[in-house]
Structure 1
Amino acid sequence: MKLLVLGGGESGAGAAMLGKKLGYDVFLSDRGVLKEKYKNVLIKAGIKWEEGAHSGDFLQGTELVIKSPGIPSETAIVLDLKKAGAEVISEIEFAARHTKGKIIAITGTNGKTTTTLLTHHMFAKAGKDVIAAGNVGKSFAGLLAERDRDIWVLEVSSFQLDDIVSFKPDVAILLNITSDHLDRYGYEMQNYADAKFAIARNLTEADHFIYSDDDEVILKNLKEKNIKAQLHPISTYHPVENGAYITENELIINLTNNPYKMSIHDLALQGRHNVYNSMAASVSARLFDLRKEVVRDSLSDYENIEHRLEFVAEIHGIKFINDSKATNVNGVWYALENYSEKIVWIVGGVDKGNDYSILEALVREKVKAIICLGTDNKKLMDYFGPMVENIAEAHTATEAVNLGYAFAKKNDVVLLSPACASFDLFENYEDRGQQFKRAVRAL
C-alpha cells in the first residue's frame, strides 16, 4: 500500500519511519528544503523523498496521506489528493491507530507544553513506562516506530487535530481557548474553538475530559457539543465536583470521597496560569490511580520548561525573563499578570491577527517601556505607543536587550514575551529565546 507523507519536518519524518516499519511503500515530499538530520534519517531507512516542490507524480495510486500540521487543508496538492480518492490524516491519527498504549492528550491555547511535561514527570516518578511526545520534543509516530509505550502523554495543537478521524485519547485535557492562529481559521474564533474541541470528538463514556470551568469559550462550546466522556472541571475561582479547584490558597483534588489538598505555595510552578496546569496534570494522574504522595512530590519538585517565564539573570537589580514561548496575546497576559514589579516589555514578530485589547489594562498598570522586536512593528507602535512613556524598535535580540537594560532600573523586570511568531527574525521561538539569553549574559 502506498503511503505519501507531505512535509519533512519532525512530524513527517516520524510518520515516514512508522510507515516503513509497518510495511508501507513510503514516499515523502516537501515543498521546502529538508533539514540535514531528516534527510539522513530518510536515507538511512531507505525511504524515497523529494524536496523543493510537490511534483505530483504520486497522485495516482496513493491511498493514504499523512499531512504535516503546517500544511493547510485547502492547499491545492491536498485537495487534488482527496479528489483522487486518498485518505488524508494527521501524524497523530496515524500513530494512534498503531499503539496499544493509553493516551493522555493535552491541548489549549496556552499551557500545553508545561502540562504535558508535568504530567509526564508525575508518571515517570511513579515508575510507569511513559513518554512525552507530539507537539513537544519528538513526534508520536517517530517514537512509536522505535517501540510502543504503556502511556503516551501527547501535546497536540489545533493544526494536528484538524486532520484526525478516529483519534481517541483515554484522557483529553483542554486548558483554555483564546484568540490564536486565526489566520489559519478564516479569522473566525468559532472555527478555532471547533478545532480545539476535536480532541473530545471521539471520546466514549469510558474516557475522561478535563477542562477549565473558568473559560467562557470552553463552557459555551461544552453546552453545544455532545461529549460523552466523564467530565472533570478545574477552577481557580470556585469549588467543583469530580475535578480540582483552589480555595483559601489550597489546591484540592476532588475526584473521590477521599479528596486531598496541598498548599499552592508548595507548587513548583507559581502564577495563576500554572495552577491550572498543575490541577490538570494532577487530575489525569489520579485518574490513573497514581499515589497522592507521588502527585504531591511531583508538583513541588518539577522544574519549569525553557522559554516559558524562564529566569535568565539579575544584573544590577534588574531581572531578565525569557518568555519566548508566549507566541499569542493570552500567553503575554499571563506573563504580565505574574509580576508585581515594573516591566520593560519586549514584544513583536509575525502578528497572527492579534487583538491586543485584553492587554491594555495590564500595560497601563505595569509596563514602563516597550521594545518592539520585529521587521514590521507599526501595529504595535500605533497601539501601545500612547500607553507608555518609552517605546522603541529593535531588529536583533542584542539590540532589544541593550534597550531593555537602558530603560530599566533596579527592581524592574525586562520581559521577553513576544505575543507573536518568530519567523521574521528568528528560526523559531527557541532560537529567539536562546539569542535573548546570550544577549543578556553578554551585558
Structure 2
Amino acid sequence: MLTNLHAKRIAVVGLGLSGLATVRFLLAQGVKPVLMDSRTKPAGLEHIAADKVDGIYLGEFDANRLAQMDMIVLSPGLALSHPAIRFAKAQGVEILGDVELFARFNQKPVIAITGSNGKSTVTTLVADMLQHSGIKAIAAGNIGLPVLEALRQPDIDVFVLELSSFQLDTTSSLQSQASCVLNVSADHLDRYTDMAAYTASKQRVYQQTKLAVYNQADPLSYPGTTAGQAPSLAISLDDADYGIVEIHDERWLNVAGEPLLPLSRLAISGSHNQFNALAAAALALSAGASREAIARTLQHFTGLAHRCQLVRAHQGIRWINDSKATNIGATLAAIAGLRPDVRGKLILIAGGDAKGADLSELRPVLTRDVSHVITLGQDGPAIAALHSHAIQVKDLTAAVQQAAKLAQSGDMVLLSPACASLDMFKNYAERGELFAKAVKELTL
C-alpha cells in the first residue's frame, strides 16, 4: 500500500536505531521531517545533516509543536501514554511506528513473529530456512535491523520480522503470509496496565494474516477473533501434526504430519528449542521453504548469543549464559528445557529489574528444580525470598565466584536473570559478556 508523504508534516519522535532509520527513509522519499528526542545527545544524530530536516528538538517534548504535525512516527521505546503524544493524538495527529510505515510501502511477503520469549531464535531460524531453500529472506525488526533499512535492500523475496508488543501497538495494516505468537508471559507490566493489555498487544500480529500459528499449550497465544477468517495452526510438544512423535524408541520432530528429524540431531537443546524449531518450520513452509532445507538448518543452527549458550564445560560443570532471559517466562522456559539434562544440581543466577512483574510465579519451579539461587540487582532480594537456599551478592563477578564454590561435577550453573539488565548494565548483551568473562577467568 504505497502512500504519499510529501504533503504531510511529519515528526520522528525518538532517535534510536529505528528512529534514525526512519529519518533516512523519509529523506529518501523527499520528506523533510521534524526530529525530536528526549535525550540531549542521541547517538548517531551527527550523521543527519541539519539542513536536510525541518528542525531538531532535543530534551523535553514540545506538545504544542507535536500537535501541529499531520503524522508522528513514534519510537517503540516511547509509550503512547506519554502526555505529549496523547495531546497530539487528541488534536487529530496520526500516531504510527516504523513497522506501520514499512507496511504501507512494502509489497513483498512477510512472516511476522512475536511472543514474550523465543522471538529472535525463531526469526533467525525462519530466515535461515528460507535462504537455504534458495529464497532471499532477510530478518529485521526487533532483532536488530530496522524494518525500513531492510525495505531498502534490493531483491528481497520475503521479510521475516521479529515484532515486540511496543512495535505492534503502533501497527495496524501489516499484512503477513503467516504470523505467530510463540507464548505470552508476564513482561513489561511497568508499561501495560495489566496482562490483558499486554496480551492484546501481542495478538495484534494476527491482524490481516493468511495463517495464524499459535502455541497449543498457551491459551494466551490463541488467535481468537483477531485473525478474522484466517486458518490457524497449532504447535505442540505432544504427538500432533506439528509436534513430537516416537519412532522405533526415538523421538522425532513431526512437521506437517510427517517425521522430519530425530531430536538427537537438533543442534539446539531443550524442550523450548524443540518448540521453536517446530514453529520456525511451520512458518518457513508457509513461505516456500523445502523440508530438506528446514532439516539442514536445524542440524547446524547452534543458537544465538546469550540464549542458553554454553560458555564453559570444565570438570563436569556446565556454565550457561541465558542473559537474554529478561522476564519470568524466559527463565521458566530455560529451566524446563535444561533441567532434564542435568544429573546434579542446577544453580541459578538471577536478578535485575523485574519491570513490575509478579516474581512469585517463579517459586514453584525454583523450589522443585533449583538447588541454589544466587541473586543480584534491584529485584534480587525479591527473588532470594522465594528460595530457602538463596545467596545475595553485590555483582555478577561475585555471583560467578559463589557459584563456583557450590558447583560440583554433574552440576549446571545457569545465568537466567528473569529480569531486565538496565539497573546494572548497558543491556543484556553486556551482562552476558561479563558473565562469560568471569566464568572463563575462574581457576577451577
Q: What TM-score results when the alignment is normalised by the length of structure 2?
A: 0.90
What residue in structure 2 maps to residue 40 of structure 1?
46
Distance 1:368 1:261, change over 3 A: same
Query: Could you tell me whether the CA contact under 8 Å between 1:21 and 1:145 is conserved in 2?
Result: no
1:7 paired to 2:7:
no
Partner Cα distance (2:50, 2:137) in 1: 27
Where structure 1 has 5 or more consecutive residues not aligned to the other structure, the ranges are: none
CA-based RMSD of the aligned residues comes to 2.0
Give the secondary structure class of the aligned counterpart of 1:232.
Answer: strand
Give the 3-state SS of the residue equivalent to 1:371 in structure 2. strand
Query: For residue 360 of structure 1, what is the aligned residue in structure 2?
Result: 363
Task: Report SS of the residue matched to 2:25.
Answer: helix
Could you say what secondary structure the match of 1:25 adopts? coil
* Counterpart-to-counterpart distance in 1, 2:153 and 2:70: 24
Q: Is the 8 A contact 1:269 1:304 kept in 2?
A: yes
The 8 Å contact of residues 177 and 287 in structure 2, kept in 1 or not, is answered as no
Deviation at 1:55, TM superposition (A): 3.4
Task: Tell whether 2:51 aligns with 1:53.
Answer: no
Cross-structure match for 1:189: 195
Identity rate of aligned residues, in percent?
31
The match for 2:85 among 63, 75, 78 is 78
Residue of structure 1 equivalent to 2:206:
200
Question: What residue identity is the alignment partner of 1:231?
Answer: S
SS at match of 2:35: strand
The CA distance in 1 between the partners of 2:47 and 2:104, in whole Å, is: 23
Take 1:59 and 1:129, find their aligned partners in 2: how far apart are those partners?
Answer: 39
C-alpha displacement of 1:34: 4.3
CA distance in 2, matches of 1:34, 1:143: 26
Q: How far 1:362 moved relative to its partner? A: 2.9
For 2:232, the equivalent position in structure 1 comes to: 231
Distance 1:79 1:60, change over 3 A: closer
Are residues 1:295 and 2:328 paired? Answer: no
Q: Equivalences for 1:208-247 in 2 at 5 Å?
A: 208-219=211-222, 222-225=223-226, 227-240=228-241, 244-247=242-245
Kindly tell me: are residues 44 and 321 of structure 1, through their superposed partners in 2, closer, same or farther at Cα, counting changes over 3 Å?
A: farther
SS at match of 2:48: helix
State which drifts further: 210-219 or 103-112.
Answer: 210-219
Moved more, 355-364 or 423-432: 355-364
Q: Aligned in 2, Cα 1:275/1:175: closer, same or farther, shift over 3 Å?
A: same
Unaligned runs of 5+ in 2: 1-7
Map 1:16-415 to 2 at 5 A.
16-36=23-43, 38-43=44-49, 46-47=52-53, 48-56=55-63, 58-147=65-154, 149-186=156-193, 188-203=194-209, 207-219=210-222, 222-225=223-226, 227-240=228-241, 244-248=242-246, 249-254=251-256, 259-337=258-336, 338-339=338-339, 340=342, 341-384=344-387, 386=388, 388=389, 391-415=390-414
Q: For residue 97 of structure 1, what is the amino acid of its counterpart?
A: R
Query: Distance between the aligned counterparts of 2:272 and 2:59, measured in 1?
Result: 41
8 Å contact 2:50–2:56 — kept in the other structure? no
Distance 1:149 1:2, change over 3 A: farther
Shift of 1:355: 2.9
Q: Aligned pair in 2 of structure 1 residues 145, 287: CA closer, same or farther (>3 Å)?
A: closer
CA contact (8 A) 1:14 1:143 kept: no
Q: CA deviation at 1:211?
A: 1.0
Q: CA deviation at 1:432?
A: 0.8
1:296-319 deviation digits (Å, cap 9, x = unpaired): 111111121000001111233322
Aligned-partner SS, 1:350 = coil
Structure 2 residue matching 1:172: 3-state secondary structure: strand
Q: TM-score, normalised by structure 1?
A: 0.91
Deviations 1:357-392 (A, max 9, x none): 4433332233222111203433122222x3x2xx22
How far does residue 184 in structure 1 lie from its aligned partner after superposition?
A: 1.6
Gap change, CA 1:132 and 1:93, over 3 Å in 2: same
Whether the aligned pair in 1 keeps the contact of 2:318 and 2:413 (CA below 8 Å) is yes
Partner-residue secondary structure (3-state), 1:97: helix
